[in-house]
Amino acid sequence: MKQRLSEMYRMRRRNLSENLGIVIALAASCAAMWTGYEAHRARLEAAVAARDSVSVQGKAVQAQIDAMRVDERPYVLVRVVGVRKADKVDQDENDYQGVFRLDAVGRTPATVLKWNVRCGLLEAN
C-alpha cells in the first residue's frame, strides 16, 4: 500500500508537471502571437505615417518652390505719369496724350520689354 501511494503521488506529480508545461507552452505561444500582431500593426502604422510625412514634405517643398518663383520673377508695372498736350505733329492742338512709365521690378527684373500698344489721343472736351 505504501508503494502504491508513492507511485500514485509520483504519477499525479508527473501529470501535473506535464499539464503545467502544456499550459506554459500555450501561454508562451499566445504571447508570441500577440507580440507578432502588435509588431505587424506598428509596422503598418509606421508605413502610413511615413507616407503621410512624405506627402506633407512634398507639399512643403512645392509651396517653397512656388514662393521662390513668385519672389524671383520679374514684374512690369505701368505707372501713369500724367496727361500732357499733344505734340505739334498730331492733328489738333486741343488734343492730349496720356504719359505712362514702365517700371521693371523684382529680384531678377525684366530687361527686354516690348510695348505693342498705342493709345489714341484724348479729345479736349
Sign of CA dihedral 40, 41, 44, 50: negative
pTM above threshold 0.85: no
Chain segment 53-95, per-residue pLDDT in tens = 999 999 999 999 888 877 777 777 888 888 777 666 655 556 7
Radius of gyration of the chain (CA): 45
Percent pLDDT > 90 in the chain is: 33
**Residue given cell 504571447 in the structure block:** 31
**Residue given cell 505587424 in the structure block:** 40
- CB atoms under 10 Å from CB of 98, counted, come to 13
